[in-house]
Chains A and B, each alone.
Chain A
Amino acid sequence: MAKAAIADRSVKEFEEKQEWWWAAEKKRSSRLDYLRKAIWKKGAIGGLYAPGVKTDLERAVLQTQKARELEFSPDPYVIKFAKMLAHVLDNKSIFITDHAQLVGYTGSLPHTIAWDPSCASILNEEVYNDPTAIPDPAEKSQQIIRDVNNYWIGKSDLDKMMPIFDMEDLMKMLSGSIGWGVPLARGGYSSKDYEYIMTGKRAFQAIIDELSQKIDEADEQTHAPGATPDTTRMYDKINNWEAMKITLEAGIRIAKRYARLAGIMAEHFEEDTIRREELLKIAETCERVPAYPPRTLQESLQYDIFIQMMSRTEAIEGAWPSRPDYYHGPYYNKDVNIDKSLTKEEAIDLLGEFLIRAAEVCQFKPKWSREGLQGIDGTWVWTIGGVDKDGRDACNDMTIALMQAARLVRVANPTFGFRWHPKVKDEVMREIFECLRQGLGYPNLRHDPILIANTMHWYGHPIEEARLWCNQACLSPCPPTKHGFQPMRMANATANCAKIIEYVMTNGYDPVVNMQVGAETGDVTSFKNFEEFFEAWEKQMKTIFSILVRAVNRARTLAPNLTPRPYLSALSERSIESGMDTLTPSLERGNAWITAFTWVENIDSLAAVKKLVFEDKKYTMAELKNAIDKNWEGYEQMRLDFVRNAPKWGNDDNYVDDIMVRCLKAAAKFSKELKCPSGNNWPILPENVSGNIHYANIVGALPNGRRLGDALYDGGISPGPGLDKKGPTAVLKSCGKINHITDGRAFLLNQRLSPSQLAGEKGYQLWKAYMRTWADLELDHIQFNVVDDSTLRAAQKDPEKYQEVIVRVAGYSAHFVDISRKTQDNIIQRTVQGLG
């Protein structure tokens, strides 16, 4: 919209037309407006990076330079790795954005995407083969990339690990048919020991002092008279402690570089007196954190940003576990309510900028990953609300301020997961509702009592720790505690579950990638009854889950030695105490889960086969197999029969709901037979991100009436789009038949509501009543899209005018114009539920 047209219209006018993005632009401060518009769009549009966004070669060159220098050094790998990390932090270019109060970015310039060349050669090849993101001049850049890539062949993490994996499993995973990525300790979702580093008790310098003391004591011990196995192990511990120390010292140094830059800008270049003061404040802040614990909200937020930036220098982080209101809330309260050193508006400016700093973060990811997370770089699902370790309501003023800031800056990432519990106050619920009504698609709602019980059930976390949970990725609660936090959930433990039912039909042979991936369960036409069919389904389910879990278990076992994480270890009490890398499985209770993409296709397919083939005998199995082998081509009437005349999940129909429960219980039982290296369970967590689109051309035709190419259902336990015809309560009732504590880890549920129905106080009361039903039925999750068809169709037609429309895709939100046409259509076809 033209600038003048925005200026001429009032906030009220925009709000009445539900053009929330223009209203937000008018309501936010000039600083926030500038910073919001200064963000480079980093989330891939469909699967490609936006024009102008370029791969950052600086970091890759620095890391390679240091690796070459250290190649013949006698240092153990963990020390070499720490030195590489320190070299990058000491030498990378830094910048401070105009009007910013917070600093720190993963790349060397605002439009760059950080590239870590030490993770995997196959990733490096993608950098070389993605011409749209190669910086100009292209020829020179390609030469640099070639040089970097050539160095890391055979030396990257994955290259080192591949030869010692089970090759058959690896080939099945790399085929892309059943899994999602590769098992790497530096590529996935790292939870953190926030209770150790975010409670104000210590910061980097105190940890360095403790490490020095540990090293001195160990040194003394190893040189004292006597020699035992403990003495021998002490040498490894010293190396680990040394490596941790190197990374923390580098962390302090880069913060001081920011302090120096801010100081120089203030004293030599800035003419505006107010901005000069702000720059001096940045300098003071970066002198303080991360070396010492924060004293103010600004210092606390800056501390968090430094921690995250450094973690994203050490590893490719696909998620951002965080509980900002819980850990920063006390500083907000002190500055705004007690000391009154900040006005509420100033605090919201800081929080809005905090969201913006997170929104701009990006690391180079392979195209399959970008397609599965269209519009964003990773799932930054920040956890807010909930209870404290004693079970008291943990919502605070910052919980509310964060949601207000989110409505002003309207970024699609980070989003919030709100931990609902019975003591949440109405004023907080109204803020959540306002975010939803204004079309953000977040917060999603999480049932805190159920998830605390679930966390205790699956892993045995004590209640005081379970109560502290925050999302490790989109939906999986993890206690950020000494033995509770899981340092890495490898992304490849993600199953493309639609393949389970597909392989039942094909005897385990994958017609899309042309290889035997699943189990040989026999010719499907020979099955005499549904029980035989279901038995084959169970076997395929177990086979796929086992392939993925075996690989992760192997990688997690190898990781402490082959791919250590000295920086993450330095932030972890258990590693400081033990001298062992934080990835060492014996140090944690375990918090593993299998993400179950494309799950509900199994349920609707099983129900259709049971009803139309085995019970009604309307079709033979041979006829069904024939139609599916032909991708339903020429069998449209029969396909429609399988869609329309078989029971569908989400309609409170016990026929199909019982099948859902049976499948989940079978998976849950098997989850306890699968064990992670910490000895704990592998429950499943049905959700999709945008994997339902990525897998559309990988999953063949299915008995639920889907063809190769069609988007899969939008995920979790959400009914098939348009197939939940009995209204919103029926959806909740179906989902309520699942035991959300013992049947799996968490269950994503998408719902779409009408914006016109949610207008005004009546809209709030309708939604609140609906949420009461949700809570009473003890569902662990729900999230909403509140955008009408006409807005979404208009955005498809004229994307320039609707750049800021946000939708909830699956476990995350994205700007509608950044997702592919197929994903857009998939969202539009979701049922719009009427409340009341």
Chain B
Amino acid sequence: MKCIECGHDAPLANFRYLYNARIDASISIRQCTNCEEWLAVDELKGIVTQKITQGDAPWGKSAGIEGLAAD
């Protein structure tokens, strides 16, 4: 998997697992061990989908009437 911030290339498991904010989604937050950037990762595809900055919601909206997360 490749970090979209610094280009660091390593197996998915080598990116530090932080947490999965939606247990029922395959998107997790990992940290690049090279540049320490927080990254949203599609665990099934093994790709970085975006950088995480303050206020970002890579897993979409809350579950319930305001719209289920897309996964």
Please give the residue numbers on chain A whose beta carbons come within 8 Å of chain B beta carbons, in ascending order.
Answer: 631, 633-634, 636-637, 640, 643-644, 696, 704-711, 720-725, 752, 754, 757, 788-789, 793-794, 796-799, 822, 825-826, 828-834
Contact = CB atoms under 8 A, between A and B. Distances in A.
A788 B54 contact: no
Contacts of A826: 21
Contacts of B54: 796-799
B18 interface: yes
A752 B61 CA distance: 13
Contacts of B13: 633-634
Contacts of A637: 44
A185 to B, nearest CB: 37
- The 9 A-B pairs at the shortest CB distance, nearest first, are namely A797-B55, A834-B65, A832-B64, A722-B63, A831-B64, A796-B55, A825-B21, A636-B43, A831-B63
B55 to A, nearest CB: 3
Interface string B3-23: 000000000110001111111
Contacts of A799: 54
Given A633-B13, A636-B44, A722-B69, A828 B20 contact: no
Contacts of B55: 793-794, 796-798
A830 B62 contact: yes
Nearest to B66: A832
Interface residues of B, number: 26
A708 B18 CA distance: 9
A722 B18 contact: no
Interface string B21-32: 111101000000
A725 B64 CA distance: 7
A648 to B, nearest CB: 9
Contacts, number: 99
Given A637-B44, A797-B54, A723 B23 contact: yes
Contact of A706 (B18, B23, B65, B69): B23
Nearest to A796: B55
Interface in B32-71: 43-44, 53-57, 59, 61-66, 69
Contacts of A644: 24
A754 B66 contact: yes
A710 B69 contact: no
A260 B32 CA distance: 61
A829 B21 contact: yes
A58 to B, nearest CB: 38
Given A640-B26, A721-B22, A828-B57, 7 more contacts: A633-B12, A634-B13, A709-B17, A722-B22, A752-B62, A788-B66, A832-B66
A640 B22 CA distance: 11
Contact of B23 (A634, A710, A832, A834): A710
Question: Which of B12, B13, B21, B22 counts the most A-chain CB atoms under 10 A from its CB?
Answer: B21
B63 to A, nearest CB: 4
Nearest to B69: A722
A830 B64 CA distance: 8
Given A706-B23, A710-B19, A833 B59 contact: no
Contacts of B61: 789
A793 B59 CA distance: 13
B48 to A, nearest CB: 15
A636 B26 contact: yes
B23 A643 contact: yes
